[in-house]
Structure 1
Amino acid sequence: MTDGQDRRGLLIILSSPSGAGKSTLARRLNAWDPSILFSVSATTRSPRENEVEGRDYYFVGEEEFRRHVTDGDMLEHAHVFGNFYGSPRKPVERAIAAGKDVLFDIDWQGAQQIRNSPLTTHTLSIFLLPPSMIELRRRLEARGQDDSTTIARRMDKSWDEISHWDGYDFVLVNDDLDETERRLKTIITAARLRRAQQPNLLQHVRELQSEFEDRT
């Protein structure tokens, strides 16, 4: 931590079942405060068209990925559809030390791994619930990105995600996008003022103590 740093950054976890508004709200948070960084994951899958190394993902081989996990260089990791995905630890540590917030769009398993990591003190976890399962399906269908089989699979997985809602610091029902955005901003603004996020508080209290003792 550099001298004079006003605050430490937050590691912000945003989780929800697919279709509950997580990606939209993440973009809105970044528009509200462009200093919020999106966590860039490492993956063993091949780059897709228009994906850029270091912006969309860090593309690594499976042997290298496994070595990073063994060495403790991943905050969280998972095996999904034949490929490994994970969040490199060092870039997040550097951002937090520089007072930058890092936003993670991950599932409950990744969130649990981060909460068990050395960075748990600086972690803020938020879960988004849909107003109803009917509305969740409607939103998935309205996106027009998936066929009926994929939507059914996402709906089947949704309850597995929802069932872990009680492992988060805050839980919001996203029945109104604008109101949910307002609440997210309020939560983040308050969390930035947590004692653990203010590295200069101890020195300030010591100065107050010195003034108190020298008041005569």
Structure 2
Amino acid sequence: MNKKVLGTLVLGLSCAAILAPMASEASEKEASTDVGIKFETDDDTTLIPGPFGDALSLNAKPTQFSFGTAKAANNSSATYEQQKGATKQYLSVFEDRDTVTTDWNVEAKMSALKNTDTTNTENKELQATLRFDSSAVSSFVEPARDADGNLPMYIPVPGESELTALTGVDAKVTGNKDVQLIAGGGSVKVLEGKQDAGKGGFASEIKNVRLAVAAQGKLSGQEFTGNVTWTLNDTI
């Protein structure tokens, strides 16, 4: 069974322009400068609704990967760091099955990063690779159930004091130190869980997020957007 959840990816590239005075009798008397602001959500991790009973499910994902507005490195490659809040980002899986017969994994795939200006024919898509580290994996116990024994509709990743790091060769759930998602490319494994990993939650901190942009002509003043699809596979 495959379960898919979309995570948004936002990138903006712009370049400042300098207006030089023109040698003209009728010089310009008025000009304009763009002003903009975008109010982002306070949560770096978004909860995914259940139900979670007797199932293997995704329960949390990164809200977005935002790289803000940056100076465009025209005709040369460049790497941009993610701009995010102070809280950590998590991709999390919750296991509540009594009988588990196979291993499981979570794969990520990035769509093409398309130019928001659909009239631009030179750079319709951005040639880029999204990279991050998902190797810091922790487990956590299930939250309290209601009087009927049901899990809550939302299961958050708890605070660090309630997380147990999974390390060493005996770890039943592992991540990927260097995930590389090519824009418009194939799927890459982000998390892998063993059949005997047990019940409860498994949260991977998604960190060191950056976007490597290839050299591809003039990018000044352009913006590109896309998304990352997270797929939980439990029939492998």
TM-score normalised by the shorter chain: which range applies? Answer: under 0.3
Q: In proportion to residue count, which structure has more strand?
A: 2
Tell me the TM-score normalised to structure 1 length. Answer: 0.27
- The answer to which structure has the higher helix fraction is 1
